[in-house]
Amino acid sequence: MINPLTFAIVAVAMAATPFAAQAEPKPLPAGVMRVPVIFSGGHDTVGVDHGRPVVLIAAALGVKDEIFREAFSHVHPAGPGSGGPTDAEARQNKTALLNALGKYGITNERLDEVSNFYRYPPGPGGVWKNQAATANALVKSGAVIGYEIIDGGYGYTIPPTVSVPGSKGAIARVELSFGKDMAHNGAVSAITLPQDQGK
């Protein structure tokens, strides 16, 4: 975790230094106010993955995306409207995955845990388990001069879009972090301003 920085230090290096998540809001200089930001999107997948959040699954398993894609190429998913794979098909698919991933130390139990966590819920329009990030924009005289992350959330596959109510044209660069801990996998880890903003 990035150590919290004082506002004075961040104000000097605002364009390059991300805010760390803060347990307690820090006092702000006069004229600066916090405005909750709105995150949108962030759950797109690569076309070749056919809707699977491979970047999250691979990170949770501790392998590269390409390794999981290669392993999954040996799986034969059930077709649309089939009601899912038969028991025999499910066993064959599991065996194929474990044959490819077992050499990386991935067990049957861990594969089940990760697969179940990132499974789509029944019905149209759903998405895998995720939690939206929360953050504040630091606004002075109507302009955004920085951001502070409250909770990075989890389950993002690409950086979400940030908008700040009442501040048109606010620009933010969002970075994500990935890892084996699914409660923090695909979390917003930093929000920074471009070089020419926030001055």
11 and 73 both lie in a single domain: no
37 and 54 both lie in a single domain: no
111 and 155 both lie in a single domain: no
What is the rounded distance in angstroms from the CA atom of residue 114 to the CA atom of residue 71? 15
68 and 29 both lie in a single domain: no
112 and 137 both lie in a single domain: no
Sequence-separated (6 or more) residues with CB below 8 Å from residue 85: 76, 77, 78, 93
Q: Tell which of 82, 117, 152 closes a domain.
A: 117
38 and 65 both lie in a single domain: no
Query: Of 191, 134, 198, 135, which Cα lies nearest the Cα of 169?
Result: 198
- For the chain, 199 residues long, give each residue's pLDDT as a single digit of tens: 333 333 332 333 333 334 444 456 788 889 999 999 999 999 999 999 989 999 999 999 999 999 999 999 988 776 555 566 678 888 899 999 999 999 999 999 999 999 999 998 877 888 999 999 999 999 998 899 999 999 999 999 999 999 999 887 788 999 999 999 999 999 999 999 986 554 5
CB–CB of 178/55 below 8 Å? yes
Q: Would you state the structure tokens that stand for residue 106, as one six-digit string?
A: 């991935």
Total number of domains constituting the chain: 2
What is the rounded distance in angstroms from the CA atom of residue 39 to the CA atom of residue 164? 9
Sequence-separated (6 or more) residues with CB below 8 Å from residue 32: 7, 138, 139, 140, 145
**181 in a domain, yes or no?**
yes
60 and 102 both lie in a single domain: yes
**199 in a domain, yes or no?**
no
Q: Strand, coil or helix: what is 144?
A: strand
Element (H, E) at 145: strand 143-151
98 and 62 both lie in a single domain: yes
**122 in a domain, yes or no?**
no
What is the rounded distance in angstroms from the CA atom of residue 19 to the CA atom of residue 192? 8
134 and 183 both lie in a single domain: yes
Q: Tell which of 92, 117, 142 closes a domain.
A: 117
Range of the domain at 139: 7-43+130-192
Q: What DSSP letter does each residue of 72-95 carry, written as one string?
A: HTT--PPPTTS-S--HHHHHHHHH
